[in-house]
Structure 1
């Protein structure tokens, strides 16, 4: 396939994009990234999902944890703690450079899209990385501890609060970043990464023009399930589904993406009984690079089988 678009967020999404980047050459692969996690911290604009993807594709990611930089140092955090600063969100010394440069560029009038493209070029990343929007969108959660911004829930509280509802402030009026709609409409395949559907993919789908482009595209849209054996590989997906009264299975994932996807790739040992949906299977746990490439190939093969 010559042109592939992947909707992505988080560590699981970055793993699939890395696999796809070994199959789809250069800018023929476009990653549209969740920015609902973005927030300001200590006066800096932090874009966690964009940064995870930048680190992963440039070979700079911490291999063990999947986020942050390999070989990071923490002198800034140590000095911050000495002065009584908030230390619940870790900013490594190398990681800090991205946030400082991004914040400065935004203050000078550059867009998040332009800044992200500049970082990718500096690190020799061929994949085109597009924020879902240059407009601010904030993932907000209603919990048993009150209304929490995403990073307060995910990082500070480590997903402990029970969630009753999720919404995406600003999404209804947000405009897709330049190139997003065009990439979706020109794609030969659109892949939804095995990111958390409710926290990492839904923010993209909440931008009206992105959802509309997915409905209009002639390309097959295939999602990779984040579940293996009824459990999320990483993160709070299964816990969140239970709190929202959603069965933790692939049928629920398929129904959640109803009207968006044409096919669902699931783990070899799992099932999905939703009628009218193409199902592909392969081992979907992505530990090694070979695993990531295998899952990417299986997703593309499922999409290829759905093309007219």
Structure 2
């Protein structure tokens, strides 16, 4: 079945699959709706980490070795900030800084986050559509022994050390679905929805918390397929494994599938986790085995093709 594909994405892992989908689908056949719960204000700038990861990866500008930010980065601005005694807990590269400056002044001039994101994508030569989940501020916060903390403080400054007992998304309910995400969900030619291999608790749940998104997915008329962010029961990067352990969730892909429940029809897992397939099928999900580790652009494209085939989408 030809048609449009909607992908829901967080940062690094989700961005890689989003880039693979963008490369194998014809221009205009993909909308990537990105988590903005990680967004925050820093040094007077509006920082959108997940949007930027998707932008940089789809534009081929991402730093694969470091796992975040832009390749061939320099850090002169951060060095000078330290000399001046300013906050330096969140690293901003010199090239990356240009993105934050461009976004911030356009937002202050009256553009919406959707409009700014579209401008940045076009400027970077990206042919597919990248949209925020909402133009309204949504902020992920975690509850630890120290009380409620903004996500970036816990994630970067505290390096995920404090145990998390609860997660909330400030601004929801009340956050209005972005025009681009609403349009993608309502398209007559929508063929599939893909949940990229992002953290379900911190990257996908914020998207689902936006007014109307969860309901739209529950009432979908097309396949919804999730790609597990786990390989061998572990997340390759980020705090997902820690969050699962703190919830006493130790069954890997089965816990991921149960978290999504009826929101997804099928789940893609790594070939090495084939032993999980029977339990996943018993839980009501179709299962596709694939090579889910994405070290290169070729890996991204290969996984994208497998995901689209599992969803019945023709290239």
TM-score (norm 2): 0.94
CA deviation profile, 1:119-138 (whole Å, cap 9, x unmatched) = 11111101100000000000
Give, in whole Å, the separation in 1 of the partners of 2:86 and 2:19: 35
Give, in whole Å, the separation in 1 of the partners of 2:132 and 2:180: 10
Alignment of 1:198 onto 2:201: yes
Residue in 1 aligned with 2:132?
131
Give, in whole Å, the separation in 1 of the partners of 2:222 and 2:172: 24
Give, in whole Å, the separation in 2 of the partners of 1:166 and 1:102: 27
Corresponding residue SS for 1:259: helix
Contact 2:114 2:180 survives alignment (8 Å): no
Residue in 1 aligned with 2:307?
299
Residue in 2 aligned with 1:290?
298
Instruction: Give the C-alpha shift of residue 257 in structure 1.
Output: 0.2
CA deviation profile, 1:90-143 (whole Å, cap 9, x unmatched) = 111111111111111111111000001001111110110000000000000001
Residue in 2 aligned with 1:239?
242
Corresponding residue SS for 2:263: coil
Give, in whole Å, the separation in 2 of the partners of 1:221 and 1:63: 28
Residue in 2 aligned with 1:229?
232
Gaps of 5+ in 2: none
Corresponding residue SS for 2:102: helix
Give, in whole Å, the separation in 2 of the partners of 1:91 and 1:233: 23
Corresponding residue SS for 2:262: coil
Gaps of 5+ in 1: none
Instruction: Give the C-alpha shift of residue 248 in structure 1.
Output: 4.2
Alignment of 1:280 onto 2:288: yes
What's the Cα RMSD here? Answer: 1.2
Instruction: Give the C-alpha shift of residue 144 in structure 1.
Output: 2.3
Contact 1:165 1:244 survives alignment (8 Å): no
Instruction: Give the C-alpha shift of residue 63 in structure 1.
Output: 2.3
Residue in 2 aligned with 1:19?
20
Instruction: Give the C-alpha shift of residue 184 in structure 1.
Output: 2.0
Contact 1:2 1:24 survives alignment (8 Å): no
TM-score (norm 1): 0.96
Residue in 2 aligned with 1:254?
257
Corresponding residue SS for 1:40: strand
How many residue pairs are counted as aligned between the two chains? 305
Residue in 2 aligned with 1:51?
52
Relative to structure 1, is the Cα distance of residues 118 and 111 closer, same or farther in structure 2, using a 3 angstrom cutoff?
same
4+ runs of 1 displaced by more than 6 Å? Answer: none
Residue in 1 aligned with 2:63?
62
Give, in whole Å, the separation in 2 of the partners of 1:288 and 1:70: 14
Residue in 2 aligned with 1:141?
142
Corresponding residue SS for 2:212: helix
Instruction: Give the C-alpha shift of residue 247 in structure 1.
Output: 2.5
CA deviation profile, 1:29-69 (whole Å, cap 9, x unmatched) = 11000000000001110000011111111121112123111
Give, in whole Å, the separation in 2 of the partners of 1:248 and 1:35: 28
